Chains A and B, each alone.
Chain A
Amino acid sequence: MKSFIFKRLLLGIAVLFGVVVITFFLTRIIPSNPAAKWVGPRATPEQIKQATIELGLDQPKHIQFLRYLKDVLRGDFGRSLRSHQPITEEIKKYAPATLELVLLATVFAVFAGIPLGVISAKRKDSWIDHLSRFFSVGAVSLPTFWVGLFLQLIFYRSLGWLPLGDQLGTEIKLLYEIPHVTGLLMLDSLLTGRWIIFKDALVHIILPCITISLYPIGLVARMTRSALLEILGEDYITAARSYGLKERVVLWSYALRNSLGPTSTVVTLSIGYTLVNTFLVEAIFSWPGIGTYISTAVTGLDYPAIMGVTVFSAVAYVILNLISDIIIAMDPRVRV
């Protein structure tokens, strides 16, 4: 077990190194002039020359790479070409909003997806099963940006029930002091008892949260259903039923528990997908997270920022993968 985790860890580090190498050289191949970007439009040649030296761009590529690698190892992604602020600081500022959205969407996906899968399995081939399967397939295959715009159209434009985007309403943002404890807005407002902020944040997170969680809901429901169906055919379930246990207990305590292994793997892996998906959804909902940050960086060719976020996402993905590997390894039925 230990050597398995160790091996996985090594592999993860190798992957991250690969990501750093590829992003670094990819951004160097694309024709552009970071120094000109740094000094902004209408710069004089002297200003650009000065910036080239300041940014170390006059050095050979391999020296630049070694410098970058050294900085990345210390958690320093350099400075943004646009805002001139340290990228690590900027990521720290934007990450909590994304984290909050991803976490909530995942929790929501689990609590909506599992019951859906269980009901579907229990009433296999009934209309409920068909409906739930139809929903799961739909949820997985609909393009997220379309769902986001569609929900906005219905709940904001037509019904006027929910806000269009952003994390808080204009008035709340302007009139109240926003608490800052962990950086997670909803948690912070809850911890400091600012109910009005919590309520507003909750109302604002509903649409982006649903948009993002549709995919994992579909995935979890389908996974739970197929895992359950397999387990429900096992001998020990028949045995439990023959003891005269209630069907509810058989299903929810016995069968479900054993089907949670594959489901939790799927959930962990889907967080990685959700994270990337968030990038798109954030732009639609003006959500002040990493996605909004990277979309500005990409359109503005802010290379250090693009590289920083890519490495950051890769780290998150590797960690999640590691966790799901460990979960699988902990299942006594799996030999590693």
Chain B
Amino acid sequence: MLKMKSKSKTITRRLVSILAIIIAFAMALSGCGDKETGDADTTDTPKIAYYAYFSEPILDWDPSVEFSSGTIVLNNIYETLLRYNPEEDSFEPILATEYTHSEDGMLWTFTLREGVKFHDGTVMDAEAVKFSIDRTINLGKGASYVWDAVKEIRVVEPYKVEFELKYPAPIDLISSCCYSSFIMSPTAVNEDYENWAAGGKEAGTGPYMLQSTKMGEEVILTQFPDYWGGWEGEHFSKVLIKKVPETASRRQMVETGEADVTVELPYEDVQALSGVEAVNINRAASFNNLTVFMNNLKEPLNDVKVRQALSYAFPYEDVIKYAMGDYAKQSKGPVPAGLWGHGKDLPQYETDLEKARTLLAEAGYADGFKLLLTYMSGDEAEKKSAELFKSELNKIGVDLEIRAMPWESQWELSRHTDPNERQDMMMMYWWPDYASPYSYLYNMFHSEEEPMYNLSYYSNETFDNMIDEANVLSASDRVKAEEMFIEAQEILIEEAAAIFAYDKEFVWVTNSSFAGLNNNPVYPNVVFFYDTYRTK
């Protein structure tokens, strides 16, 4: 017994001595733990902005390729030639100070800002601009197709660059696109032309540089001391953009001030926060709208009267109220409010079951029929909208089956080689790559040989010609182009090519100490942190 007792004591003693050694070792390595403040700048505590984002802040670090949420990061690191302001329909000079174009819109000349440096020290000039856009076009990834009209880019003077086009196109709008229009340092890129940015490298001219990143998780930005705009006045010196998937967490963080800004909170949360003093809620226009496509190639939706009947049966008000919590407005045609080309006076379908019934009877479908509607699984608003639509259709004898599918799957189904195998209806959100009505009208309604995003399979030569012509015209005469775009939409509405459900409203939730945030729907979810500051 005694032996056993002493044995357990020995073990304890040994354990204690091992622990002591570990601690002593750690202390020795640390220089006795007095170095803590060594690596932090104690003289001037930096001001930090925190953006709690709902998904990965960035997927691909290549500014020529990223065509996803990464725009929220890249727009603080890189800059474009111009920035478009849709509210005033004006351009803010960024890397270009001025620009001109030929009368036919085939030749565009940009004068560049002098004295701008990339984060790696390289000077930003006409060569760099040519290099960047050429690279984006050559790689052919992401949103590079926005540059499709470009035939050649020429360096005219060290700070003057010229775009010669294959056909007229609005290069001012394209060069302010929030994807694929960034100017990057040729020196940095040339180290490994295709993969230099992999895993988190950058070489922009923007106000912030990348300090560190954890892929798929967070991005830490720090101010670029040589930024051409200077650092006078109130600015944040560091920015943290982090993925916080839990909506409850995002809400609490903004309430307590741990985070400054967040987006994509459920409408219930936004409503609950509306009386809270520590939080500001900013409702703003977005260019995101929901379209319900109708299979124009398949019975009974190939009959225009049936499509009109369904457009009358859609419960617009209920959907906006119950599915969107009133954070949306009924669409007028496919081009959303706030974007040029939106027709204020275009007709709208209103929910009117009597009219729907009459139209169905006229079309010979008084007894109703069965339809399949698919929507993206996980999207609550689409789900609720589909359910509301189903109950409305039920009243006029149409039996609607609704099916949630992952985006890729429903898209796959909608592109089935046999139109009769495809779903009858499908919901989809659209947002523009660059701020033009053509993005909506061409992608969703222009005739296609193989379906891509024209998922009503709508085909109308008159309409096609009108929008193609208007697009060419938009390079030289925006006013005339706008008229034509609006006129073209009248055809779509008359023929009920699809159901134009709602234009989404964008909701920024910020802590009340965070100021300077300007919503710009051309740059969705983007906070231009250089413009923001702390008020207290």
A residues lining the B interface (CB < 8 Å): 30-34, 36-37, 39-42, 44-45, 47, 82-85, 90, 93, 149, 152, 156-157, 160, 163-166, 170-171, 173-177, 190-196, 240, 243, 245, 249, 253, 283-284, 286, 288, 292-293, 295-296, 299, 301
Contact = CB atoms under 8 A, between A and B. Distances in A.
A83 B216 contact: yes
B141 A299 contact: no
Given A32-B406, A41-B67, A253 B40 contact: no
B333 to A, nearest CB: 21
Given A176-B40, A196-B36, A301-B406, 17 more contacts: A37-B408, A44-B452, A45-B450, A47-B141, A82-B56, A152-B252, A173-B220, A176-B39, A177-B39, A193-B27, A193-B30, A193-B31, A195-B30, A243-B1, A283-B246, A286-B244, A299-B378
B115 interface: no
The 8 closest A-B CB pairs, nearest first, are A193-B30, A31-B409, A175-B40, A196-B36, A33-B408, A32-B408, A195-B33, A174-B238
B243 A286 contact: yes
Given A36-B411, A164-B258, A195-B33, A42 B215 contact: no
Contacts of B198: 85
Contacts of A32: 406, 408-409, 412
A176 B38 CA distance: 9
Contacts of A30: 406, 409
Interface of B: 1, 4-5, 8, 25-27, 29-33, 35-36, 39-41, 46, 48, 50, 55-56, 59-60, 67-68, 140-143, 145, 198-199, 211, 214-218, 220, 222, 238, 240, 242-246, 248-249, 252-253, 256, 258, 378, 405-406, 408-409, 411-413, 433, 450, 452-453
Contacts of B405: 31
Given A164-B253, A174-B220, A286-B246, A33 B412 contact: yes
Contact of A156 (B30, B140, B246, B252): B252
Contacts of B142: 40
A284 B378 contact: no
A190 B433 contact: no
A85 B215 CA distance: 9
B33 A170 contact: no
A193 B22 CA distance: 11
B48 A171 contact: yes
A151 to B, nearest CB: 13
A191 B142 CA distance: 44
A170 B411 contact: no
A292 B142 CA distance: 26
Given A93-B214, A174-B211, A245-B1, A296 B55 contact: yes
22 contacts: A30-B406, A36-B412, A40-B142, A47-B140, A47-B141, A90-B215, A152-B252, A157-B256, A163-B258, A164-B249, A164-B258, A165-B249, A166-B242, A173-B220, A174-B46, A174-B238, A190-B26, A195-B33, A243-B1, A245-B1, A286-B245, A292-B245
